[in-house]
């Protein structure tokens, strides 16, 4: 029978006289209150530090991901490209389970949504960040299939109109509670405008592609949207359109039924990553939208769009945390099993240092996400953009480090790293490219920067 290895090469066993672990137990009770040498599971340790309702949420999200998403991950990623709206029966069934268990309705407390009243004491952005990390760790595509729906719902919530929430959002959530998933898509991007739909400087000169023309008792929408996550499976959509004859400053949010005459999902893109979630091109040909389906008021779409992005950018950063964590876990598993020179890679200290760097990067970006998320009752653009661009940039570095460690093995689909690499890249593009998010930081900060241009010295906080 093989003896269990008691320590890694280059490190002392736990029972050695110079190993600190066992000695800490002999310190006085007072000393033990202010010193520690923990060796327990990092995920468990972090979860215990969360407020109890959020710790419970994190545990539930992990259990759901491992039970319902993990078994579908490879199949969903390798599936043949299907026509818009079609999905394998296993994914359809997963959506029904997710809906019944509340993963499509947790932005509002019961009885409208599935958020418990205890969790209502904490920002929904923080709750979403915890859930998204667990889902993305298992599968980026299935995570996006479940998460893009919340982005579609956010304009309804941020409208601040109780009637909008009662008439539109509540029925969506009720349908989900019954196990009949009603997905909502968020439609801003146009074929001629990606970043122009997310940056004021570019939007100023952009000629809108989707235009709303006035008609009796409502509006008619014409034009196209593209790269709309979940647009192929959505029953309703929050669509942003300019008013006829006006520019982007007239952008207005319309709540559109996918069964409306003149609406069509033109196609789904062949995507590099997050393949389980469709990226759709949508066509509007004289689609009628009644006045009652204008969300937030006429010409209020631009501010509603920016507020929605500020709300969603922190959870996007948590997607990156999930990918970095998954890559680190896969790298550790590989290093413990793959042998070089008659011993597992993990016994080589340069490999240990490589993995330590991956761990540090992952924990650092989780720290910034949690720091901003726990105060995100009113997400500030600067903070959300810092989270989004920095976490996604560093997560890709972590995933590339995993690919480096696995070498030739890293390109094999069964090792999962190449899928994570394809998935993580998208986080640096949607919710504003990282370059747009960097400019959003400066836009938010310019009131503090401008005085420095006219004075020889000034104080500024960073």
Residue 95 burial by CB count (10 A; 0-12/13-18/19+): exposed, middle or buried?
A: buried
Which tens digits make up the pLDDT trace of 67-105?
999 999 999 999 887 788 788 899 999 999 999 999 999
Positive or negative CA dihedral for 136, 133, 334, 399?
positive
Cα distances (Å, whole numbers) of residue 117 to 104, 108, 121, 151, 159: 17, 9, 7, 22, 22
SS3 content of the chain, % helix, strand, coil (to 5): 55, 15, 30
Q: Which of 337, 332, 420 is nearest to 74 (CA)?
A: 420
| Residue-level pLDDT at 206 | 87
What SS3 state is found at 214? strand
Q: Which residues of 58-71 are buried (b: 16+ CB within 10 A; e: fewer)?
A: bbbbbebbeebbee
State pTM to two decimals: 0.94
Is the separation of the CB atoms in 318 and 369 below 8 Å? yes
Domains and CATH numbers, the chain: 308-451 (1.20.140.10)
Pairing of strands 218-229, 252-257: unpaired
Q: How far apart are CA 33 and CA 25, in angstroms?
A: 11
What SS3 state is found at 274? coil
Does the pLDDT at position 459 exceed 60? yes
Q: Omega before 111 cis (within 30°)?
A: yes
Residue 175 burial by CB count (10 A; 0-12/13-18/19+): exposed, middle or buried?
A: middle
Q: What is the DSSP letter of 81?
A: P
What SS3 state is found at 161? coil
Is the separation of the CB atoms in 289 and 256 below 8 Å? yes
Does the pLDDT at position 261 exceed 90? yes
Rg (the chain; Cα; Å):
24
Q: What is the dihedral of CA 335, 336, 340, 341, to 10 degrees?
A: 140
Which tens digits make up the pLDDT trace of 107-126?
999 888 999 999 999 999 99
CA angle 12, 16, 21 (to 5 degrees): 85
What SS3 state is found at 373? helix
Mean pLDDT, range 431-440, rounded to an integer: 93
For 26, the token pair is 């002999």
Is the separation of the CB atoms in 220 and 212 below 8 Å? yes
Q: What is the DSSP letter of 121?
A: G
| Residue-level pLDDT at 333 | 96
Q: What is the DSSP letter of 41?
A: -
Does the pLDDT at position 340 exceed 90? yes
Element of type H or E holding 322: helix 301-337
Pairing of strands 211-215, 236-243: parallel
Q: How far apart are CA 47 and CA 234, in angstroms?
A: 33
Can you name the residues that pair with 241 across neighbouring β-strands? 252
Q: How far apart are CA 64 and CA 214, in angstroms?
A: 46
Which tens digits make up the pLDDT trace of 392-428?
999 999 999 999 999 999 999 988 999 999 999 999 9
Least confident range from 22-26, 159-163, 276-280, 296-300: namely 22-26
| Residue-level pLDDT at 406 | 95
């Amino acid at each position: 029978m093989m003896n269990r290895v008691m320590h890694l090469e280059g490190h002392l066993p736990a029972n050695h006289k110079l190993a600190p672990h066992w000695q800490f137990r002999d310190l006085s009770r007072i000393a033990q209150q202010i010193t520690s040498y923990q060796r327990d599971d990092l995920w468990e340790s972090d979860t215990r530090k969360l407020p109890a309702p959020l710790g419970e949420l994190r545990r539930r999200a992990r259990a759901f991901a491992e039970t319902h998403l993990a078994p579908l991950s490879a199949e969903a990623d390798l599936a043949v490209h299907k026509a818009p709206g079609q999905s394998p029966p296993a994914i359809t069934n997963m959506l029904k389970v997710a809906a019944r268990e509340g993963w499509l309705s947790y932005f509002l407390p019961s009885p409208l949504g599935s958020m418990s009243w205890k969790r209502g004491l904490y920002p929904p952005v923080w709750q979403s960040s915890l859930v998204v990390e667990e889902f993305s760790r298992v599968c980026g595509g299935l995570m996006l299939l479940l998460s893009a729906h919340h982005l579609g719902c956010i304009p309804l919530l941020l409208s601040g109109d109780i009637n909008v929430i009662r008439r539109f959002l509540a029925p969506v959530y009720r349908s989900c509670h019954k196990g009949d998933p009603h997905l909502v898509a968020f439609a801003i991007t146009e074929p001629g405008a990606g970043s122009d739909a997310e940056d004021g400087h570019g939007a100023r000169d952009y000629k809108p592609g989707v235009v709303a023309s006035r008609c009796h008792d409502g509006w008619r929408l014409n034009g196209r949207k593209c790269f709309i996550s979940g647009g192929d499976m959505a029953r309703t959509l929050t669509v942003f359109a300019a008013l006829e004859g006006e520019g982007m400053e007239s952008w207005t949010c319309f709540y559109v039924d996918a069964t409306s005459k003149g609406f069509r999902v033109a196609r789904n893109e062949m995507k590099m990553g997050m393949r389980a979630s469709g990226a759709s091109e949508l066509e509007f040909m004289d689609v009628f939208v009644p006045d009652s389906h204008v969300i937030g008021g006429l010409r209020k779409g631009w501010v509603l769009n920016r507020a929605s992005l500020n709300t969603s950018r922190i959870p996007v950063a948590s997607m990156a945390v999930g990918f970095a964590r998954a890559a680190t876990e896969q790298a550790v598993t590989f290093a413990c099993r793959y042998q070089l020179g008659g011993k597992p890679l993990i016994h080589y200290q340069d490999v240990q240092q490589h993995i330590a760097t991956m761990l540090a990067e992952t924990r650092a970006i989780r720290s910034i996400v949690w720091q901003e998320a726990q105060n995100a009752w009113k997400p500030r653009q600067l903070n959300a953009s810092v989270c989004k661009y920095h976490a996604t940039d560093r997560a890709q570095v972590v995933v590339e480090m995993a690919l480096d460690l696995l070498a030739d093995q890293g390109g094999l689909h069964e090792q999962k790293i190449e899928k994570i690499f394809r998935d993580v890249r998208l986080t640096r593009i949607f919710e504003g490219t990282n370059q747009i998010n960097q400019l959003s930081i400066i836009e938010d900060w310019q009131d503090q920067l401008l005085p420095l241009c006219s004075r020889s010295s000034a104080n500024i906080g960073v």
